[in-house]
Amino acid sequence: MTVMKRYVRKNILALEPYSTARDEFKGGDISVWLDANESPYDNGVNRYPDPHQRKLKERVSELKGVDQGSIFIGGAGSDEAIDLTFRIFCEPRVDNVIAITPSYGVYKVAAAVNDIEIREVQLNDDFSLPVDRLLAAADSHTKLMWICSPNNPTGNAFAVADLERLARSFDGMLVVDEAYVDFSTAGSMLPLLPELPNLIVLQTFSKAWGMASLRVGMAFASPEVAGLFARVKYPYNLNGPTQAEVLRRLDEDISGKVAELRHEAVGLSRSLSEAGCVVRVYPTDANFLLAEVTDADRVYDYLISNGVIVRNRTKMPGCRNCLRFTVGTPEENRRVIELINEFK
């Protein structure tokens, strides 16, 4: 048994995956398709899509510099990859996972859905990564460690070297959620994938790529682990029109938009920090800013009454009186700055 298989649930290792009609078809020149009980009337969507998403994976492989065999693509965004990770590795009511807090809320929900204990380890006061406390929280039933970098809602990215140390020291799977990596200068964990067999990297097309509505997220891992995702996923988890639409949109060059948002983030941060009701704005490696204000609930309601919605994070650990501002267009950012300056 390879090292990684030690971490996998026994039922998943034993699983005989569902074999689709399209799986069993192995080439040949077919013109009459009578194998899948589809409607024969061509309306553009009458045939099942490619369950292996080959064309899309080929493009993602090119884009990310990762072998196709190391890619999982989900049709319910990264959230699908998060849920599958729990289901592959964690035995309900037996295993546990570690996650940083404050962080993305879906890890906790997915843990609860799967009946897995989650051990939350609070970031240091400056939101830096408490590597030793994270490692100390693990026991022999800890299968996963969830780290979001750049982290939502704090905005900071963690050093690749620290994440690498975690991966090398942790006896379980390290999951690094890089939803905002396209905005960050801290770098990705993807180049370390061949060296770190216990690493899973999550990315998404929902943020910098502007395809949130399409719901396409990815997991990257060793071929062995990516193979487990392929076995456990629903066979047709990414519908045909979405596969085609993402493929088409991946030809867009997003670097101009990313550069504009990064530039806007700097300006928004500076203007917010000068406003009377803003105590401080935390540095960001993402397309949002966490700002501590004098009274988060009041500023939040005031912005809403003026037609602007931000995220109130005041109840999250270490985030008292903090609001999270997504960086918008230059006009949107001007509007929010104007409102914040007028707050009484």
Ligand X SMILES: *Cc1c(COP(=O)(O)O)cnc(C)c1O
Binding residues for ligand X, per CB under 6 A? Answer: 77-79, 104, 148, 152, 177, 179, 204, 206-207, 212, 217
| Size (the chain), residues | 344
Residue placing its CB nearer to ligand X in the complex, 49 or 155: 155
Residue with tokens 């029109």: 241
Residue placing its CB nearer to ligand X in the complex, 165 or 311: 311
The verdict on whether omega for the bond into residue 102 sits within 30 degrees of 0, i.e. cis, is yes
Residue placing its CB nearer to ligand X in the complex, 79 or 182: 79
Q: How far is the CB of 200 from ligand X (least distance, A)?
A: 13
Residue placing its CB nearer to ligand X in the complex, 142 or 151: 151
Q: How far is the CB of 219 from ligand X (least distance, A)?
A: 11
Rounded Cα–Cα distance for residues 150 and 176 (Å) = 9
Q: How far is the CB of 240 from ligand X (least distance, A)?
A: 19
Rounded Cα–Cα distance for residues 134 and 201 (Å) = 18
Strand partners of residue 293: 278
Q: How far is the CB of 284 from ligand X (least distance, A)?
A: 13
Residue placing its CB nearer to ligand X in the complex, 14 or 63: 63
Residue with tokens 């971490």: 7
Write out the two tokens for 31: 């013109």
Q: How far is the CB of 177 from ligand X (least distance, A)?
A: 5
Torsion of CA 128, 144, 225, 10, to 10 degrees: 180
In the 8-state DSSP scheme, what is residue 110?
H
Shortest CA distance to 271 belongs to which of 329, 326, 333?
A: 333
Residue nearest to ligand X (CB): 77
Provide the total of helices (H) and of strands (E) in the chain, helices listed first: 12, 11
Q: How far is the CB of 26 from ligand X (least distance, A)?
A: 33
Half-sphere exposure of 101 (CA within 13 A, CB side): 16
Residue placing its CB nearer to ligand X in the complex, 105 or 241: 105
